[in-house]
Homo-oligomer: A and B are copies of this chain.
Amino acid sequence: VTHDSQAVGGIDIGGTKIAVAIGDHDDRLLDVARFPTRIERGPHAILDETLETLSALARRANVRIASVGIGCAGPLDRGRGLVLSPPNLPGWDELPIVDLVERRLDVPVVFDNDANAAALGEHRQGAGRGLHSLVYMTMSTGIGGGVIVVDKLVHGVADAAGEIGHMVVQPNGPACNCGARGCLEAICSGTAIARRARERIGAGAESSMGAIAGGVEAITAATVARAALDGDPVARHLWDETIEYLALGIGNVLVTLAPEAIIIGGGVAAAGDQLFEPLRARVRQNVTMLPPDRVTISPAALGGDSGLYGALALGRSVLAEPR
C-alpha cells in the first residue's frame, strides 16, 4: 500500500441526480462522477452507490478521504444530522444521513441544504469569489437561497435563513406550497412561470407557447422565455411580470442586507441576458438606497455544480476547524 495524500469528498444529492467529487485542500477538484438518483430504490441503495462511487474516485486518484461534505435537498435538521421530509426525496424522512456516512467512511461529515451548499460553492469558487457577502438564489422547481455575510453562511433559527422564495412580493397573490399567498416562489419559480402560462392559455389567451412546447401541458419556463424572445405577446407579458416580481424580491434583499452580489442559479437563470438585463434595470429603478454599481446581479458561474463545489467546501471546513 502506497502512502497516499489526504483529500476531501463532496456529495450533492438531488431528486434526479447525484454528483460526487473529490478535491484537495486548495479548492482544486480532483475528480467527479455523476449518476441518476433513481429515487424509487430507496435511500440506502442510493447511499450505497454514492459512497462506492466516492471510494472508487479516491482509489483512482490514490488519495485518502479525510472528511466529507454533503449538500442535500431540504428540509434538514442540521443539528441532528437528519434529512427531514424533502418533497424531492420521498422516503428519506428522518434519515440520519450524517451518522450513516460517518459510520461507513469513519471520517467527519458536514452537511447543509442544497441552496446553502450552492451559495458556499459560488462564494468560494464561482461568481462570488473574493467577495465577503452575497445572496445566492436558485430558480428552478422552487426558489431556494443562501446568505453569506462576512464570508460565512447565515443559517438563522431553525436553519430558515435564505428562504427568500417565501418573501411575499404580491400580497394576496397566488397560493404557495408553504401555505402563504404571493410568495416569490409562487410567481417566479420555473414551476410557477409555467403554471401561469398554462393558466393564461386556459383562460383563453392566444399564444404560440402550446405549439412550441408540443402541447399546453408541456409548457415550461424555457418555453415562456423562448416565446417571449420570439415576440409572443402573452409570453412577453408573463416574462415582464416575472422580472417585475423578481426585482421586487431582490430589492427587498438588497435593502435588508446590502450584499455585494446577488447570484442566481437554477434552470430559469439559463435565460441569460434575457433575464439579467431587464432585471438589473428594474432593480436599479426600485432601489435608491444603495448605489447600483456596488451590487452585482449575475448568473451562477458554476452552473449545476455550485452545490457540488459547496459540498467540497463544507468537507474542507471540518478539517480547518475542530468540530
Contact = CB atoms under 8 A, between A and B. Distances in A.
30 contacts: A133-B154, A133-B157, A149-B149, A149-B150, A154-B257, A155-B258, A156-B257, A156-B290, A157-B258, A157-B259, A157-B260, A157-B290, A157-B294, A157-B295, A158-B291, A159-B258, A160-B255, A163-B255, A163-B290, A165-B255, A166-B288, A168-B248, A168-B251, A168-B286, A171-B244, A171-B245, A179-B288, A180-B286, A253-B256, A256-B256
A169 B244 CA distance: 13
A39 interface: no
Interface string A281-308: 0000111111100110000000000000
Contacts of A161: 256-258
Complex copy number for this chain: 2
A255 B290 CA distance: 22
A238 interface: no
Contact of A180 (B156, B257, B287): B287
A252 interface: yes
Which 9 residue pairs are nearest across A and B when measured between Cβ atoms?
A: A156-B258, A160-B290, A160-B258, A161-B258, A163-B255, A157-B294, A167-B252, A158-B290, A166-B255
A147 interface: yes
Contact of A156 (B133, B152, B165, B169): B133
B152 A150 contact: yes
Contacts of A158: 258, 289-291, 294
Contacts of A170: 171
Interface in A127-175: 133, 135, 145, 147, 149-150, 152, 154-171
A295 B158 CA distance: 10
A130 to B, nearest CB: 14
Interface residues on A, range: 35 or more
Interface in A248-287: 248, 251-260, 285-287
A178 interface: yes
Given A170-B171, A179-B288, A290-B157, A256 B164 contact: yes
